[in-house]
Amino acid sequence: DTGVSQDPRHKITKRGQNVTFRCDPISEHNRLYWYRQTLGQGPEFLTYFQNEAQLEKSRLLSDRFSAERPKGSFSTLEIQRTEQGDSAMYLCASSSRQGATNEKLFFGSGTQLSVL
């Protein structure tokens, strides 16, 4: 059990460029979540997967954002045509949901995105 891994840790990009982040969950965790956190705020939910199926997307997730989880393993989050407002920490979490009341999320260290 190596924990949730996110890559890269930091990304600096120019406005208008596309960026892609990767998340490797704890092995055999069936759920994977993406959250976004800006300075001084709590994490905000973006989307989540159960195995390879994307079950819910937040209204925060504009058309420029897309997430995938092929084969129910790692996940990628892509942002197209980045804007300065996209600057944030992008957090990934995974869980092994065996019941609604005891689902515990394990978070990665996040990817800090800066859009210049």
Partner 1 sequence: KQEVTQIPAALSVPEGENLVLNCSFTDSAIYNLQWFRQDPGKGLTSLLLIQSSQREQTSGRLNASLDKSSGRSTLYIAASQPGDSATYLCAATGNTPLVFGKGTRLSVIA
CB nearer to partner 1: pick between 3 and 16: 3
Beta-bridged to residue 115, according to DSSP, are 13
DSSP single-letter state for residue 28: T
Contact 19, 80 (CB under 8 A): no
Give the three-class secondary structure for 70. helix
| The only residue of 1, 2, 42, 85 in contact with partner 1, by rule CB under 8 A | 42
Enumerate residues 71-110 that contact partner 1 by CB under 8 A. Answer: 89, 91, 93, 100-110
Residues that bind partner 1 (CB under 8 A): 4, 6, 33, 35, 40-45, 48, 56, 89, 91, 93, 100-110, 112
